[in-house]
Structure 1
Amino acid sequence: MKILVTGGTGFIGRHIVWQLAAEGCEVQFSGRNAVAAAEVIRHSPATVHWLPLEHGTPAATATLIDATRCCAAIVHCAALSSPWGTPQSFAQANLDSTDEVLHACHANTVKRLVHLSTPSLYFAFRDRLGIREDEPLPPPVNEYARSKALAETQVHAAGLAEAVILRPRAVFGPWDGTLMPRLLRVMQRGPIPLMRGGRAQLDLTCIDNLVHAVALSLTQPLPRAVCTYNVSNGTPLAFEDLLHSIAEQFRLNLRTQRLPWRLVDAVARALETSARLRGSGEPLLTRYGAGVLAFSQTLDLSAIRNELGYRPVVTQNEGIRQHAQWWLAQQGARS
């Protein structure tokens, strides 16, 4: 089976590439970073092919159409995932890329699309437990969430025969360049702020479990033309308890400081306002970045369990342990 993975040089995309290659698929992956592409190829268990591509450029659609001839499926991972950025940058990375992929699906009658979205669509600066996919979405909390919601609308409007939208929560694992590294940097520098008592219930997703969900999305019969599914480990954990687990496995000293949410929120608002006025990059602290650690957000997995047969293949503790082993080995190699 021939499959194209967009964003295959990224953290999530490369793990999907490697798993599909291990299963004997003919895999082509896109990305614009030649160094990252070489790393993906070097670590692949079987031959994979790199497609140099920058989404949002004049040649992108034609390049994708040519690359997806005889493709059975496309896994669309390419995206800008950040709590901060301009509407234009998110439109190019998240909306233009989705439009290009949909054009390729139509041009070559690609049988199935798996589109990676986000549960950031659910976030609303309040505790939300057991969120289902069919619940009304709150107003988007930032430009990232806005662009991903619009991208989902594009998929729904495309009229594809078979499409799966996945909303994985807080994905972590080897080669993660965003979630765990940010947390580890703060842990190494000073105390971690605990807002609202550090008791916010957080859902996480080990990369192996997301890859498993993608595999099911590619192979299982679908009950509807477009299916949307939450993905996580299914084992929510209080933020303070998660910090203790991470500190133990990553061999770091844990220091915490209890702070009121209103204070942190005020500081984040001030930093965001200053960054906008100066036209500078992402501030040291964003409201969304602080909010996801202050408010509970857990996902209902009933739909993906009942319709695709999803069951996590790696426990949360094992996933953290594996990530820590990889991270410690990387630190040792650099020293």
Structure 2
Amino acid sequence: MKVLITGGTGFIGRHLVWQLAAQGCEVHFSGRNAKAAAEVMALSPAAVRWLPLEHGSATAAARLAEASQGLDAMVHCAALSSPWGSPEAFRQANLDATAEVINACRSNGIARLVHLSTPSLYFDFSDRLGVREDQPLPTPVNTYARTKAQAETLLAQAQLPACVILRPRAVFGAWDATLMPRLLRVMRQGAIPLMRGGQAQLDLTCVENLVHAVWLGLTQPLPRPLCVYNLSNGTPVAFTTLLQQLASHLHLPLRTRRLPWRLVDSLARLLELKARLGDGAEPLITRYGAGVLAFSQTLDISAIQRELGYQPVLSQADGIRRYAEWWHAQQAPGA
């Protein structure tokens, strides 16, 4: 199989490059960071090719379409995944890039596309358990969720021959630069706020399980031209339990402080307003960032299990242990 992976220099993208190359695929990947691309290629189990590309630029669509000639499939994971950022940055990374991928698929008759979306589409500052893919979506809570929802709309309108949209929840693993690092930074420096008792039920996804789901999306027969699937480890955990597991495996102190959600929410609103009126830099706390740790959100993953045969290849406990081993290695002198 000849595959192009957008965003192959990122956390999830590099895992996909390595695993698909290990499966014997001819792998091409895009990304604009030359240093990261060199690292991906150096650690790849087989020869892979890098396409220097900034999605959303004036020449990106033409260059991607040219580079996609002769492909069997594409995996689109390039995106701006953040609770904060400018509308233009989100539009370029999440909408323009998706339009470029659709154009490349159409221009070259690419048989299958796997697109990584987000369950942030479901979030509405309330507890939601066992959320299904076919449930109505609330009004997007931020620009990230809005542009990812719009990207899914573009894909639905494109009517490609075979497209799989995955909504993985809270992906973590080696090279994660977002989820775990933010938690660990707070654990090292101060007390983690526990809102609503710290009992929010959270779904997580080991990056290895996401890579497995992408492989199924590329190789398994699809029941429909457009398939949308939730994805997680299938083992929800209370926020306080997750903190205890991380502290134990990473040998970090765990200090917590119970705070009312309304207080945190008011503070986040104030900090966001100050940031908008100031230099626009991400505030210390965002409403969304605090909210996802205050409110439960678990996903019903029965559809991908039933239709693609998905089962986690790595348990959540083993995923945390594997991440801890990698994290300790990064902290070693000279790493």
CA distance in 2, matches of 1:137, 1:269: 23
CA distance in 2, matches of 1:279, 1:300: 40
Deviations 1:272-325 (A, max 9, x none): 010011133100000000000000000000100000000000000100000010
Partner AA of 1:64 in structure 2 = L
- Corresponding position: 1:157 with 2:157: yes
Partner AA of 1:248 in structure 2 = S
Partner AA of 1:289 in structure 2 = G
Deviations 1:62-82 (A, max 9, x none): 111111111000000000000
Structure 2 equivalent of residue 298 of structure 1: 298
Structure 2 equivalent of residue 35 of structure 1: 35
Query: Across the two proteins, how many residue pairs are aligned to each other?
Result: 335
Partner AA of 1:318 in structure 2 = D
Structure 1 equivalent of residue 210 of structure 2: 210
* TM value normalised by structure 2: 0.99
Structure 2 equivalent of residue 46 of structure 1: 46
CA RMSD of aligned residues (A): 0.7
Deviations 1:58-112 (A, max 9, x none): 2111111111111000000000000001111100000000000000000000000
Q: 1:6 to 1:153 in 2, by over 3 A?
A: same
Aligned with 2:285: secondary structure?
Answer: coil
Structure 2 equivalent of residue 143 of structure 1: 143
Question: Which aligned pairs between 1:1-335 and structure 2 lie closer than 5 A?
Answer: 1-334=1-334
CA distance in 2, matches of 1:333, 1:169: 33
How far 1:334 sits from its partner (Å)?
Answer: 4.4
CA distance in 2, matches of 1:333, 1:47: 30
Deviations 1:19-56 (A, max 9, x none): 00000000000000000000100111111110000011
Partner AA of 2:34 in structure 1 = A
CA distance in 2, matches of 1:57, 1:191: 41
* Moved >4 Å (runs of 4+): none
Deviations 1:139-185 (A, max 9, x none): 00100000000000000000101000000000000000000000000
CA distance in 2, matches of 1:282, 1:321: 31
User: Sequence identity of aligned pairs in percent?
Assistant: 69
CA distance in 2, matches of 1:84, 1:334: 33
CA distance in 2, matches of 1:207, 1:268: 30
